[in-house]
Amino acid sequence: MDIVFQQILEQPLLLAAALIIVVLLAYFLIKKLMKLALILIVIGAAFLAYIYFTADNPQEKIEQILDTGMEKIEQVQDGAGALKEQIEKKVDELNKK
């Protein structure tokens, strides 16, 4: 690996080619990230516009969505707790045998 770097640094033509490749990669990466950021901004704006125009009060709609999510999380946690108790009970039964 060091030999490759040494050859690139010693030969100006290879150094120029490597720099061009690095610059092009950076350019395309930044271009791709900017496109992704623009798409996310458009999606976010569309979501906010949808909430604004379909709900009487967007804040209430957002709180309702969050409350529903929290209820689902609590249901999952309760189910996980019950499952844990069942597993512990079965393990205790197996250990007694």
Q: What is the DSSP string of the chain?
A: -HHHHHHHHH-HHHHHHHHHHHHHHHHHHHHHHHHHHHHHHHHHHHHHHHHHHHSS-HHHHHHHHHHHHHHHHHHHHHHHHHHHHHHHHHHHHHHH-
Do residue 22 and residue 67 come from a single domain?
Answer: no
Q: Are residues 1 and 42 in the same domain?
A: yes
Best-predicted range by mean pLDDT (11-15, 23-27, 57-61, 81-85): 23-27
Better-predicted residue by pLDDT, 41 or 1:
41
One domain for residues 41 and 74: no
Q: Is the dihedral of CA 41, 43, 46, 51 positive or negative?
A: negative
Structural domain boundaries enclosing 20: 1-54
41, 87: one domain:
no
Looking at the 3D structure of the chain, how many domains does it have?
2
The pLDDT of residue 55 is 67
Q: Are residues 62 and 95 in the same domain?
A: yes
Residue 97 tokens read as: 């045998």
Same domain, 62 and 50: no
Same domain, 68 and 96: yes
Global model pTM greater than 0.85: no
- pLDDT in the model for residue 19: 92
Identify whether residues 4 and 48 lie together within a single domain: yes
Q: What would the pLDDT profile of 38-94 be if each residue is shown by its tens digit?
A: 999 999 999 888 877 886 777 887 888 899 999 999 999 888 888 888 888 888 888
